[in-house]
Amino acid sequence: GENVEQHPSTLSVQEGDSAVIKCTYSDSASNYFPWYKQELGKRPQLIIDIRSNVGEKKDQRIAVTLNKTAKHFSLHITETQPEDSAVYFCAAPSGYALNFGKGTSLLVTP
Amino acid sequence: DTAVSQTPKYLVTQMGNDKSIKCEQNLGHDTMYWYKQDSKKFLKIMFSYNNKELIINETVPNRFSPKSPDKAHLNLHINSLELGDSAVYFCASSHNGQGTYEQYFGPGTRLTVT
């Protein structure tokens, strides 16, 4: 099955700085790469996703890049705000479900 | 309008007991899932049902038994609860079961086994 590795496990940035979270996957046939955000005590929610026919996708302050050759994809958050503090999960399809990375706990300090 | 709902939100019980968690989605999705999130926040797939048929059964103890009476409901029954079962259990649903569509998660059920 798909193996998804996520780094770093924790990330602390100052408000206004950028944050980057990276994931690698093992199955070269994977074609869908979502990112989920989980605030403390809440459910995971999709924030952005990318399919394998594009290399980058942006939505306001967040962007995802995909390098299919290297089998890695990254989440970029610019102009971070305290409300961006949460656990972020990358994922890739594995059979009939998603295989999630182990999560990155992002802390944005004012 | 709650898309994916779970009950109960909290469940505290003693070792050896049997308990159930219920999940319902009103999105018309074909596929539903159960995930376990441990204390380290790791989200791990347990089961997946597509149109009431089991399509994924990861390596979980057979004390865990999912049941899908219809495609809008996926319940989880746990027998002989153990301390290690303490976790947050999330139900989710998606348009299809190929892992290539957004998954909508329920609010989670925090299970504490004492």
How confident is the model over A32-56, as pLDDT tens digits?
999 999 999 999 999 999 998 889 9
CB B99 within 8 A of CB A94: yes
Listed in sequence order, the residues at least 6 apart from B31 whose beta carbon sits closer than 8 Å to its beta carbon are: A96, B48, B49, B50, B51, B55, B93, B94, B95, B96, B97
Closest partner residue to A34 (CB to CB) among B102, B106, B107 is B102
- Cβ of B102 within 8 Å of Cβ of A46? The answer is yes
CB A57 within 8 A of CB A48: yes
Return mean pLDDT, chain A. Answer: 94
Q: How far apart are CA A54 and CA B70, in angstroms?
A: 37
- Cβ of B102 within 8 Å of Cβ of A49? The answer is yes
Q: Is A36 helix (H, G, I), strand (E, B) or coil?
A: strand
Number of A–B residue contacts, CB under 8 Å: 59
A12 pairs with which residues across the strands?
A107
Closest partner residue to B99 (CB to CB) among A46, A87, A97 is A97
Residue B21 has a pLDDT of 98
Residue B9 has a pLDDT of 97
Residues of A at the B interface, defined by Cβ within 8 angstroms: 31-32, 34, 38, 42-46, 49, 51, 87, 89, 92-100, 102-103, 105
Residue A1 has a pLDDT of 66
B1 versus B29: which is more confidently predicted?
A: B29
Q: What residues of chain A lie within 8 A of the CB of B106, using their CB?
A: 43
For B16-69, write each residue's pLDDT tens digit.
999 999 999 999 999 999 999 998 889 999 999 888 888 777 778 999 999 999
Q: How far apart are CA B114 and CA B85, in angstroms?
A: 10
B88 versus A28: which is more confidently predicted?
A: B88
Residue B90 has a pLDDT of 98
Return mean pLDDT, chain B. Answer: 92
Residue A29 has a pLDDT of 86
CA dihedral A4, A8, A12, A14 (to 10 degrees): -80
Q: Is a pLDDT exceeding 90 seen at residue A103?
A: yes
pLDDT exceeding 70 applies to what percent of chain A? 99
A63 versus B47: which is more confidently predicted?
A: A63
Closest partner residue to A44 (CB to CB) among B45, B97, B105 is B105
